Amino acid sequence: MGDIIMATEALAVGAVSRYALQTRYRKLHQNVYVPVDFTLDAPSRAVAAWLWSGRSATLAGYSAAAVLGSKWLPDDAPAELARIRHPSPPGILIHTGAIADDEVDVVDGMTCTSVARTCYDIGRRRPLDTAIIQIDALLNVTNVGVVRVRSVAERYPGARGIRRLRSALDLADPGAESPQETRLRLLLVRGGVPRPVTQIPVADERGRVRRRIDMGWPQWKVGVEYDGEQHWTNPEDHENDIVRLEFLASRRWTIVRVSARQLRYRGPEIIARTWAALYRAGYPR
């Protein structure tokens, strides 16, 4: 757990002196310290909160997602714990409610809610689009399907936020590899475009998969791709994009490319461009 220490333990074994503790560390929680220049993120906040609990609590929500390997979590969000009877100190949220034994995993010695249970909790507690983004990210990195989350939700039909969770699961897709891909997919679906398939493999003439398309409609060979800032500012990425697009064109794919600015400000235009590409490919009007 690196630079995060429990003061009493570190002092007892001589890992730090009291002077070093006072001058080189800062107190994060009761008995939990980090170096003064330590930058906190979601995983380190989770570890610190778990240590504060005396290594007894169950990590939940964003903290569980962090130790399970999810990306795109906010660095400044409070840590989240469950199965502990203590008031919430600053920087830690404590959740109550039943958690079944089969909804708990152990990662690096720390108890946390399972992937499915974590998605269930995030989907109920976060705003809809945020919940979809975080569910997409966690399912993507763990290869767990939406059906597993639904099975947990079926156990708690009257839980607070269950309707929001169901809406999130209806729109979730483990194929999203970034928050912007999720936002782009939601824009298209909410704009009336047929729901796209994600992470579409494209093979060469010998049947070897050479590329993948963020999302699209294989029947019509129309894809939509989000291009991050690096696609426009990094010469190497830009060169790779040229080669990639030429290959997809040789396989008769039409690609609608979307930049960050377009996604932010040009939603209707993106939808119109996507429809136009589908119609040109033969999609029935």
Distance CA 160, CA 279 (A): 43
User: Mean pLDDT per segment of 10 residues, for the chain of length 285 residues?
Assistant: 88 95 96 96 98 97 98 96 92 95 97 98 98 98 97 96 98 97 98 97 91 96 87 68 90 96 96 98 94
Q: pLDDT value at position 284?
A: 95
Q: pLDDT value at position 87?
A: 87
Which domains occur in the chain, in start order? 1-38 (no CATH), 39-171 (no CATH), 179-280 (3.40.960.10)
Distance CA 118, CA 241 (A): 36
Q: pLDDT value at position 1?
A: 56
HSE of 62, CA atoms in CB hemisphere, 13 A: 26
Q: pLDDT value at position 228?
A: 78
Q: pLDDT value at position 170?
A: 98
- Helix/strand/coil for 79: strand
Residue type, 146: V
Q: What is the pTM of this model?
A: 0.93
